[in-house]
Structure 1
Amino acid sequence: MKQKGMIMTLTGKTALVTGASRGIGRAIATRLGREGARVAVHYGGNHAAAKDTVAAIEAAGGRAFAVQAELGAPGDAEALWTAFDAHADRLDILVNNAGILGGQSEIDGVTREGLERLFAVNTTAPFLITQQALPRLRDGGRIITVGTMLTRGAAMPRAIDYAMSKAALDVMTVALAKQLGPRGITVNLVAPGVIDTDMHEGRLVGEALAWLSSQTPLGRLGTPTDVADTIAFLASDDSRYITGHRLDVSGGTTM
């Protein structure tokens, strides 16, 4: 429950977080719910995980509902907004978080099918979701997209396809910030480093964990909460004069 005296910065607002059933998305959804927003918890296929996220938000005194749409398939954005419209008639905050890593190989190991799947989920889906959000998004709203540190200064040969699919979101952020400024809508991107979630299950152990942790001056991997807290700031009125910005949340890895 909300602690006595705590100021809730997003009371009266409605947020949609894509890929919110687990990992970073779940942390974002629960944090926005704790700030008073009513949260649409999007999920692809794991209904039980989405239900758990909604329950966690409600147990903390917030309000939430789940919306299902399999991203990367034809009609994905339309399905998502149809589900959203059944619960809400306005939107204040859109968080484009959903994404996939792909096979994580160098260029000679990337297949056409794998590349097209990455771009369908990581690039086309957030583009179309944002496009169809605009008539629903109230003036003064927020669009926040989760990118990656790998698009600038930290490119890795084994993530070339993933980084390429995310780099397009950097461009979308700046272009939309210019277009939507007259409506008072801010558009920003958060670029996490390596975040300790189940997306990396089995990889972040032993020497690999030690090496990755050593790449940041803070000496540790990021957590979903590190990203969620940053997004809560960008969703709040405190960030009202920040737009078209790419905020690095890699713990200094890209310095």
Structure 2
Amino acid sequence: MTRSLSDQTVLVTGAGRGLGAAIARAFAREGARVAINYRASEGAAQALAQDIGPRAAAFQADVTDAAQVMDMVAAITERFGAPDVLIHNALAGFSFNGEARAHLDRLTWADMAHQGETAVGGLLACLRALRPHFMAQGYGRVISIGTNLVQNPVVPYHDYTAAKAALLGLTRTAAKELGPMGVTVNMVSGGLLRTTDASAATPDAVFDLVAAQTPLGRVTTPDDLADAVLFFASPWARAVTGQNLIVDGGLVFG
């Protein structure tokens, strides 16, 4: 079974701002119904939904709370129909600032768990809430958002990178289990994005250095990555699952 983007209801977690907002706009541009999840960014999420129009709405839920996720999915289903596509973009509070990052001598397991709770636990909660719908219709598309730091940890953000590596693992095991239901599960991994709230603390010199080392000669934008996410939800990716597509202008090969 394949479906055009305009026929789908899409849930984007952490979509009130930054990359999530760019992903929401990309799907809206293609005619999809878009559920904008937010945890605390209510004003930004509501403004985004209003800007997109009647085929978008904002829904509050902390994705680390399974009960809140279930309630959110019920509210989305009542408004637009059950989500056909899940984009798991939600990120625990994080700043890409190499000078201020936690080094191993002061990093704690609580730091690691905090990142993993949103990255991995959030995807698990969403999958559990959506699985009955996926099974009933024999169709679903799941795209998680990763990082090229797993392949090339040029800056050792230990907690963030470990959480995204674990998310990649869950993405692939979920692809194995959900495949027989007609559900594909893939990851899109970005590099440093110019600019999101998380990368706002990154010095301009670092952006310039990344651009100089990238074959395309520029830093990837949220819109660049959002368009790649569309591919995995489209009919053209119907035979692709368990994959990790790195979208960073060619900075990392493989």
TM-score normalised by L of structure 1: 0.87
What is aligned with 1:3? none
What is aligned with 1:215? 213
> Residues 219, 109 of structure 1: CA spacing in aligned structure 2 closer, same or farther, 3 A cutoff?
farther
User: 1:192-239 CA distances to partner (integer Å, 9 max, x unpaired)?
Assistant: 11111121113132x222112223111211101111100111111011
Is 1:76–1:125's contact at 8 Å kept on the other side of the alignment?
Answer: no
What is aligned with 2:248? 250
Distance 2:17 2:250 in 1: 25
Is 1:9–1:36's contact at 8 Å kept on the other side of the alignment?
Answer: no
What is aligned with 2:186? 188
What is the identity, as a one-letter code, of the residue corresponding to 1:209? F
1:75 positional shift: 4.0
1:83 positional shift: 3.7
What is aligned with 2:103? 106
What is the identity, as a one-letter code, of the residue corresponding to 1:144? I
- Aligned positions of 1:21-100 closer than 5 A: 21-58=16-53, 63-73=55-65, 75-100=67-92
> Residues 237, 74 of structure 1: CA spacing in aligned structure 2 closer, same or farther, 3 A cutoff?
closer
What is aligned with 1:117? 114
What is the identity, as a one-letter code, of the residue corresponding to 1:109? R
1:156 positional shift: 4.0
Distance 1:105 1:217 in 2: 30
Distance 1:104 1:131 in 2: 33
Is 1:107–1:158's contact at 8 Å kept on the other side of the alignment?
Answer: no
3-state SS of 1:191 partner: strand
What is the identity, as a one-letter code, of the residue corresponding to 2:83? L
Is 1:106–1:157's contact at 8 Å kept on the other side of the alignment?
Answer: no
Is 1:72–1:117's contact at 8 Å kept on the other side of the alignment?
Answer: no
3-state SS of 2:7 partner: coil
1:143 positional shift: 0.5
Which stretch has the larger CA shift, 64-73 or 9-18?
64-73
Distance 1:210 1:44 in 2: 32
What's the Cα RMSD here? 2.0
1:112 positional shift: 3.4
Distance 1:213 1:105 in 2: 25
1:84 positional shift: 2.7
What is aligned with 1:146? 145
Distance 2:118 2:27 in 1: 23
3-state SS of 2:202 partner: coil
1:185 positional shift: 1.2
What is the identity, as a one-letter code, of the residue corresponding to 1:31? A
Distance 2:24 2:113 in 1: 28
Is 2:66–2:125's contact at 8 Å kept on the other side of the alignment?
Answer: no
Distance 1:56 1:49 in 2: 10
Is 1:105–1:157's contact at 8 Å kept on the other side of the alignment?
Answer: no
- Aligned positions of 1:165-184 closer than 5 A: 165-184=163-182
What is aligned with 1:133? 130
The sequence identity of aligned pairs, in percent, is 35
Is 1:144–1:234's contact at 8 Å kept on the other side of the alignment?
Answer: yes
Is 2:33–2:80's contact at 8 Å kept on the other side of the alignment?
Answer: no
Is 2:12–2:88's contact at 8 Å kept on the other side of the alignment?
Answer: yes
TM-score normalised by L of structure 2: 0.88
1:86 positional shift: 4.1
What is aligned with 1:5? none
Which stretch has the larger CA shift, 74-83 or 18-27?
74-83
Is 1:50–1:66's contact at 8 Å kept on the other side of the alignment?
Answer: yes
Is 1:13–1:92's contact at 8 Å kept on the other side of the alignment?
Answer: yes
What is aligned with 2:237? 239
